[in-house]
Structure 1
């Protein structure tokens, strides 16, 4: 049996401009590990929190919902404020991108970058994500097909309530995109499902930012920061942050 090590948060202290890096649903801080390392090299402080129940045995995910993870994001933002950072930008992928948009509607941020953000998700799709994660996790552990089948049952029997709440959270965030006026970059993978390109266009049209950028990456699927375009994506991130900051100090 393979023992999978639990994920951890990432905190790399740099200059006075802090970047809050938000990972995707059913993934963990590995989504942002290379991003954090690269942007820290550029001088930025980088903090990637780990949402509750993520980066560990899939059973832990069943204990939490989208509002717990949103609270984790708010706590992470408050942590940076308590550490003395007054200049905070946010980069988020997938659900991390949704949280980024929500945070930009409520707090004073410098600029934001969102990747692979859906403007809507069906509860059944969200439930399937957890089931797929559970299956893959147990498969990597080296469990037998029978054992996996038995252990997957609680996931199959999950009620849709928490996923309906998740759907509502996404919809509510998208209803208030016009509150966003700070610089925003919206990235999507051209090898991802079509809905993500459409979602990126919708977000681009509805935010009220005077500085905004929309870009698709030809070789990217959903987890763009781990894919074949990751170097280009990081270059774009650095360029966007520099262009809309102007006073980066090493």
Structure 2
């Protein structure tokens, strides 16, 4: 299966601090590449995998499930953990859900958690139809490209595959249930104007985790795909500051 230009994974081996970077649902590594490259420039070892079913066709994504996506990021985490003294996990949107699951799974072995508009259980009434609708139609309109900055585009699908979306919803339930297991230092970035993931997801996360070292950063100039939006530079700087502080570099 041919990979869409821009959807290629990114790997960089360098220092003893590793950073795992996770992109979102129907998106590609393109949305996180600038951030991953900044981490590499700072001397961190980096893994930014392409999630199964992403960066090809939405029909291929509809053949995958959340366990496939998690297996990919968990394998990337294992690569970093094998060579690095500390590993941080970073995620956007569903990538934030996956990053949270890595932190829940590996707990004290994860040095810190960086989340950008992460997705957890949502109360959107439209989602109630997905379990039945997935058996009737294969896809609905796309959710990618929620960016405030003019002239910037996200590489993603034109359709949202419903069987894959239903699987993601099941992952939300498990990850949200286990949020009290999060004890690592956290920096959370969230956009008040997000047309994909409501701010209530970030509020839910903050209300349930057990971490004592928590930094909450509001992105007033960005929509959902904030890593490609007006606050991208701010996110990169604050992420580097957070990792440097927590890793005691």
TM-score (norm 1): 0.80
Per mean C-alpha deviation after superposition, the further-off stretch among 114-123 and 39-48 is 114-123
Task: Give the superposition deviation at 1:15.
Answer: 0.7
Structure 1 unaligned regions, length at least 5: 137-151
SS of the residue aligned with 1:68?
helix
Matched with 1:227 is 229
| Cα drift, residue 130 of structure 1 | 5.5
Q: CA RMSD of the aligned region, Å?
A: 2.9
Compared CA separation, residues 162 and 26, structure 1 to 2 (3 A): closer
| Counterparts in 2 of 1:178 and 1:15: CA distance versus 1, 3 Å | same
- 1-side partners of 2:85 and 2:100: how far apart? 19
- Partners of 1:198 and 1:64 in 2: CA distance: 27
User: Which residue does the alignment assign to 1:33?
Assistant: 33
Q: Which moved more, 1:161-170 or 1:237-246?
A: 161-170
Shift of 1:46: 1.3
Aligned to 1:218: 220
Question: What is aligned with 2:192?
Answer: 190
Structure 1 pair 161–132 and aligned structure 2 pair: CA distance change class (3 A):
closer
SS at match of 1:186: strand
Query: 1:118 matched to which residue of 2?
Result: 119
Q: 1:165-204: CA deviations, max 9, x gaps?
A: 3212101101111111110011111221496322212211
Which structure has the larger Rg? 1
Please name the residue that 1:146 is paired with: none
Structure 2 Cα separation of the partners of residues 9 and 89 of structure 1: 18
Deviations 1:98-155 (A, max 9, x none): 011111111110001011112224265797996334999xxxxxxxxxxxxxxx9xx7
C-alpha separation in 2, matches of 1:135 and 1:175: 26
Q: In structure 2, how many angstroms separate the alpha carbons of the residues matched to 1:94 and 1:224? A: 10
Q: Is the 8 A contact 1:197 1:216 kept in 2?
A: no
Q: How far, CA to CA, are the matches of 1:9 and 1:46 in structure 2?
A: 11
Cα distance in structure 2, aligned partners of 1:8 and 1:163: 22
Residue number in structure 2 paired with 1:93: 92
Change (3 A) 1:66 1:194: closer
CA–CA separation in structure 2 for the residues paired with 1:11 and 1:86: 17
Corresponding residue of 2:60: 60
- 1:102 is aligned to 101
Q: Which moved more, 1:62-71 or 1:114-123?
A: 114-123
**Alpha-carbon distance in 1 for matches of 2:88, 2:27:** 21
Question: With structure 2 as the length reference, what TM-score do the two structures score?
Answer: 0.81
